[in-house]
Every structure is written in structure tokens, then in C-alpha cells.
Amino acid sequence: MTNLRRSGITNQRESEWETGWSMGKKNNSKWIAGCKERGEWAELCFMARAAGLGMGVLKPYGESGRYDVAVESGGAIWRVQVKSTIFCRRGNEYSLNVMGPGRKPYEKGTVDFFAVWVVPLGEWYIIPYAAMGKRQTLHFTAGSKRAKWTRYREAWDLLRVVEIQACVDVEYGEGVVEVGLVSG
């Protein structure tokens, strides 16, 4: 018997928490109210998703780290800052501020990726630090194919390391050459 069955939760519908999360579908439930609590919940959801995709997940000890989660894939370890938003600015556009401690920009070399969860849409955006530029506010438009961040929607492969093995022609060299290409 699983923990869910012991607790009386027997199916998907019953397991939807009062937070409004329902496998990425909008519903009329209330979201987790506090920003800190919602951030902690988003980190847990990110870690569960990354682990479910076969990546190693590491959580730094304490609250003083410059990133929330580390993800290991193929030997590489990526530092990920997890952000979430429920703020609908206008129509179907969601926005959030991406700022570090003291409401200052994240310094280069402290974070490799931002994982942004647009909670009401159930969409994750895996955005490389370099793609952010000097932006501190991000906007996401539901259903838009031309939005700036569309290419990073559900881009979990950016957190993976791809390894290519190639054979060398004996006239030009010997053995097998391994070339590791790092995503990002």
C-alpha cells in the first residue's frame, strides 16, 4: 500500500492539493498565498520533475546559497535558480521579477539556468543565464508562439549533457575519440 493510499488519497483528482495544482491545468482553487512558501513548493516541483526526467538533483544546505537547486546530468552540474509566478499582468500575460539577494541582479558565474514556472499554465521555462541579458522582469504570454521565451518552454534538454562518440580513420589517427558537447 502506498503512502497515498494510506492517507486516503486514491486517485489523481483527490491528490490535487488545495494549492490549485492539477497537472498543469487551470482550476478555481486558491494558490499558496505566501511568496516564500510558493517558492519552496516550486523548488520541490522542479526537483521532482528533473528527477523524473532522470537527472540527479542536489539541494544546497541552508538558505544562503546563490542558487536553489543543482542538477547533475552526464557529469555536468548546473546551478539552477527556481522562480515561479501566478501574477497575471493583463489578459493572459504573466510576469515576474528575477532578482537575487537584496533585490540585485544575479552576478555572472553564480547561476547557470533559471527555471521559471508559470503556475497557472503549468509551464516550465528553462532559461540559460546568458539569455537573460540585463533583464530583471520577464513576461510570458499564454499560447503565444512568437513570445520571446517560447524557445525555452519545457526546454529540459538544456540541462542534459550530450556525448558523441566517433571513430577515427586509421590513416588520420588511432583509436576512438570522445567528444563531449555540453548543452547551454
Three-state DSSP at 42 gives: helix
Of 121 and 47, the structure prediction assigns the larger pLDDT to 47
Domains and CATH numbers, the chain: 31-158 (3.40.1350.10)
What secondary structure letter does DSSP report for 51? H
Q: pLDDT tier at 80 (50, 70, 90 boundaries)? A: very high
- Which three cell numbers, joined as nine digits, stand for 107? 552576478
Q: Say what the pLDDT of residue 67 is.
A: 93
Euclidean distance between CA atoms 11 and 146, whole angstroms: 37
pLDDT at 35 over 70: yes
Q: pLDDT band for position 164 (50/70/90)?
A: low
The better pLDDT of the pair 61, 25 is held by: 61
Average pLDDT over residues 81-104: 86
